[in-house]
Amino acid sequence: MNIIIAGDGQVGSTLTRLLSAEGHDVTLIDTNSRVLESSQESFDVMSVHGNCASMEVLLQAGVKDADLLIAATNADEINLLCCTTAHGLNKKLHTIARIRNPEYTEQIYTMQDVFGLSMVINPEKQAAQEIERLLKYPGFLKRDSFAKGRTEIVELRVDASSKLCNVALIDMNSIVKCRVLVCAVLRGGNAIAPGGNFVLREGDRIFVTAPTENLATLLRNLGIITRRVRRVVLCGGGRVSFYVASLLEKNGIAVQIIEHDYDRCMELAEDLPDTNVIHGDSTDQSLLESEGLADTDALVSLTGLDELNMIISLYGQSRGVPQVITKLNRMENRSMVDALGLGSVICPKELCSNTIARYVRAMQNQSGAAVSLHAIADGQAEAIEFLVDEHTRNCNIPLKDIKLKPNVLLVSITHGSKTEIPGGLSSFRKGDTIVVVTSGRGTIRQLNDIFA
């Protein structure tokens, strides 16, 4: 497909890397020629220098032949104007705009057609939803949902005290007392596709496939505290904090926001009636203590600086807060967070790029193409969801008789509303949703590609 990406920032360049590697023709637009130059040198893309909201620049970028435009500059208004103009030039064009200002949310949903938008994406709101999902099941580092939320791949860390430490995978089901499947293990930064005799060690991060209804059982039997989260401290009062607080308020969870800017505190206090807004420096340990860090259930560091967030989270962890979530703006810092053994990491920009990438894949959704694709194990493996249809080979044949490609694992089959973790006798039929995990990047494009 011909894809135009307006705005070569963090989201823009992440998308560029993803989409150009998937074989799309990507054209970048930005006003900063230095950024464009470095993108040109690292990716196989073309670039146009100029204002993406101007018709001339859009035409130069080939908007007439494009299939998709993604506007991800840092100004909402420019993104909107860019999409509206582009849609005016090419009625068949799909447009995705990043809109972050909550004040625009409503008008955009009601006037989506007027603006010519196919999709609106709000990274901060998405991050907040992700944080809420994690807070619902404390203990998981990351959750990816498949098959309309019926199947999940969750990430867990194996600690020295964990019941799973030094356990072979073959014995795992008897410990957790429900059927789950470990589809990947990250050990020392490398993803491993484990066999039944694989023994888990301290420090491993494992990716477990389970039906959504089994998640609670899984946690309980692993001895991970399943106490409901009642009190959350949010450090930093940015947009993500606002969204998280408003989501948690609705669930009746007590929220405290610590923000150092007094005016911002006032705004938050006005918009969030049930939230405790505290004016102060969130890196000040005595302040955190006096606000009751010792008996909070979760600490989420959401300031604008990655290094600050890391420090806050480290402190929270050392004080024994059960769940710590760190927001990172730069994905490069992730490996360092892992080295520190901190809990979950949320990267709004990565979430945003993944959502857009999923949209792009859905656009090309011909028969047998992936419904959705999630990067797991720090991007070293992919979990791909497929819909079984009449063109799918090997329907109704027991899995033990089907030969799959060497690096492909079939991890779940969803018939109707029932998710099954497949065994040798399982089979899939037309209408099922299946999830496969593969370590070969980009090798599986269609469902039939998984068969050897």
Handedness of CA 444, 446, 449, 450 (dihedral sign): positive
CA-based nearest residue to 70, from 125, 126, 121: 121
Stretch that binds another protein, among 24-32, 214-222, 343-351, 376-384 (CB under 8 A): 24-32
Among 6, 15, 18, 26, binds another protein (CB under 8 A): 26
CA-based nearest residue to 80, from 59, 52, 58: 52
59 three-state secondary structure: helix
Rounded CA gap, 252 and 10, in Å?
Answer: 35
Among 44, 77, 202, 271, binds another protein (CB under 8 A): 44
- Using only C-alpha atoms, the chain has a radius of gyration, in whole angstroms, of 23
- Asked if residue 45 binds another protein (CB under 8 A), the reply is yes
Among 10, 13, 20, 313, binds another protein (CB under 8 A): 20
Rounded CA gap, 225 and 204, in Å?
Answer: 19
Identify which of residues 20 and 241 has a Cβ nearer to another protein in the complex. Answer: 20
Q: Which helix (H) or strand (E) holds 42?
A: helix 33-42
What does the per-residue mask of binding to another protein show for 385-424, with x meaning CB under 8 A?
----------------------------------------
Compute how many residues bind another protein; rule: CB under 8 A. 17
- Asked if residue 21 binds another protein (CB under 8 A), the reply is yes
- Asked if residue 23 binds another protein (CB under 8 A), the reply is yes
- Asked if residue 43 binds another protein (CB under 8 A), the reply is yes
Query: Closest distance between another protein and the C-beta of residue 413, in Å?
Result: 31
Identify which of residues 57 and 245 has a Cβ nearer to another protein in the complex. Answer: 57
Tokens of 245: 């607080």
Give the ranges where 255-302 is alpha helix by DSSP (H): 262-271, 285-290
- Asked if residue 46 binds another protein (CB under 8 A), the reply is yes
- Asked if residue 40 binds another protein (CB under 8 A), the reply is yes
Tokens of 338: 């892992």
Stretch that binds another protein, among 44-52, 173-181, 232-240, 344-352 (CB under 8 A): 44-52
State how beta strands 68-71 and 2-6 pair.
Answer: parallel
Q: Which residues bind another protein (CB under 8 A)?
A: 2, 20-23, 25-27, 33, 40-46, 442
